Amino acid sequence: MFNIFSVGKKLTHYYVDVIDPQLLQIQHAFKTIIILALSVAYVLILKPQQPLWLIIVGVFVMQAFLGDSLRYRIYRLLIISFISVVGVFLFTLLNKFFWAYLLCLAMAGYITFYIRQYGLTITITSTFTLFLFILTNGKDGSLLLALERLESSSISALFAIIVALIIFPYRPKKLLFKTLDSNVVMLKKYLDGVFLDFLWGQEGNIQSLHYKNRVNTRLKQARSLLLIYPVEEFRLRFERQFILFSQIVALKNVFSNPSHSKIFFSLFQEIRGVKENIVLMFEQLGTVELNTTIAKLEHKLEEINKLAPSCEDVASFFFIVNQIINTFKKRAVGG
């Protein structure tokens, strides 16, 4: 027997399990039809003067939170929120309710693409912007009238939000691991940047303040990602890699003596040779062999930091780092 609810459930949940572009489009269309129907019902059943702006706000917020950089997401959120409030004010001022509702319907279709991932964000931000709209919705513009409308409008908005979240429930666990995967990619990018910045510094002035600031900024960014990691196992895993990068960066102080420059640059020519395998370095962490080698590296750095660096220290350290490089090279070729 054909069951429309069963089909709807499969369509609205399909994309988290199987990646199929055609079914993904069907799922989006299905959710769009439902939310459009709810929007029309909301306008027809309730008072037309009551705002349906939670859908508008949700769309704007979703668009604002789609970027990779938190800074630009905040910028977009502020800009789009400002535009939305101005647009709402103009529609209200001109009494163009038809165009307002048409805009609601268009944006309702857009919001269905993201409501599952950001349901909680919609709840918080839509309530805030709904309040802003109510403040500008009175014909006389009085704050008192706006506050009088707040109660009934908020109840209607809350009901609509609850219905939307029930129909399109986002899965917290799925979202958590999706966020984790995104952070892993960003962390790799930051650590790769530290590595390449350090190689770049050897070609110029290794003692320049500008170079130090670049490296330190990269390290702080990577550490901030480690702090917000939701899975302890992944955080510890990348902490090990982070120790290695931190110690490599520390070399700029150890080998600042010009007499060591020949060995110094030779060392980083070797490291440059394996920079193409930087992703492999991340994936191959955690083995006993590599951890033992890194432990030797850390111990040797402690000795060098305590004593005045000599050519023997540099040569000894060079040998240890070569062990790490050879390990990476073997793994790169499947050895």
130 against 210, higher pLDDT: 210
Closest of 246, 233, 241 to residue 180, by C-alpha: 233
- Residue 36 scores a pLDDT above 50: yes
Q: What is the DSSP string of 219-230?
A: HHHHHHHHHT-S
pLDDT at residue 296 in the model = 53
Q: What is the DSSP string of 119-163?
A: HHHHHHHHHHHHHHHHHTTSTT--HHHHHHHHHHHHHHHHHHHHH
> Do 215 and 197 contact (CB within 8 A), yes or no?
yes
Please, what is the average pLDDT of the chain?
49
| pLDDT, tens only, 289-334 | 545 545 555 555 455 444 434 444 445 555 555 555 555 545 544 5
- Residue 217 scores a pLDDT above 60: yes
pLDDT at residue 135 in the model = 45
Q: Cα(242)–Cα(233) distance, rounded to whole angstroms? A: 14
- Tokens at residue 299, please? 């111990």
| pLDDT, tens only, 44-98 | 555 444 444 444 444 444 444 444 444 555 555 555 555 555 565 566 566 666 6
Residue 207 pLDDT level (bands cut at 50, 70, 90): very low
| pLDDT, tens only, 222-243 | 555 555 554 555 555 555 555 5
